[in-house]
Structure 1
Amino acid sequence: MLAWGLHFAAVYSLQGLGCARGWGDAATRLAMGVATALALAAVGWIGLHAWRRLRAHAARADGAFAARLVAILSLLAAVAIGFTALPMFLLLPCE
């Protein structure tokens, strides 16, 4: 969820910065797209490690709960990043 929060702050900061400095719509979208790709990569990496830990500790109850929780939260964070990035693809940044 921290990756989603950082993505949320970065995308909307880049949108304001790009419009204020006159970067243009293409450059602003590119910067926001890079931030989105980095956030999805971070969430995917965290989720993959949680999934591997879940499979490794599936028989033990102590490590399985935390790994399952992290995997589910990673999926939720990926969906939240998608919803945060959706206006970036549907609207012009500086309107």
Structure 2
Amino acid sequence: MNKMVFVEGIPGSGKSTYARFLANQFERNDYTCSLFLETTYNHPIIQTETFDDYRIFMERYMERWNKFLLAEYESDIIVMESALFQSPIVNLSILH
């Protein structure tokens, strides 16, 4: 069973730097680690497509989470940056 670490915060607060630091520390301590930054190409959670309706956004967002949670990862720990709060809030605020 994988462990997940979420790094969240306001833009410019050092989330990416801290997420990289955590991933490096885990690997130094002999854990395998997958790191997903908000800028990761083909991110498993963060959506790059745009939507005109928040309901469609939320539907797709939940589909991505379900697919991600059912996927098999060989890493002991997954470090995820900005996927839980920041990205959805930014996208939903654009739709208002």
Normalising by the residue count of structure 1, what TM-score does the alignment of the two structures yield?
0.41
Larger Rg over CA atoms: 1
Pick 1 or 2: higher relative contact order, CA cutoff 8 A, min separation 6. Answer: 2
Normalized per residue, the structure richer in strand is 2
Normalized per residue, the structure richer in helix is 1
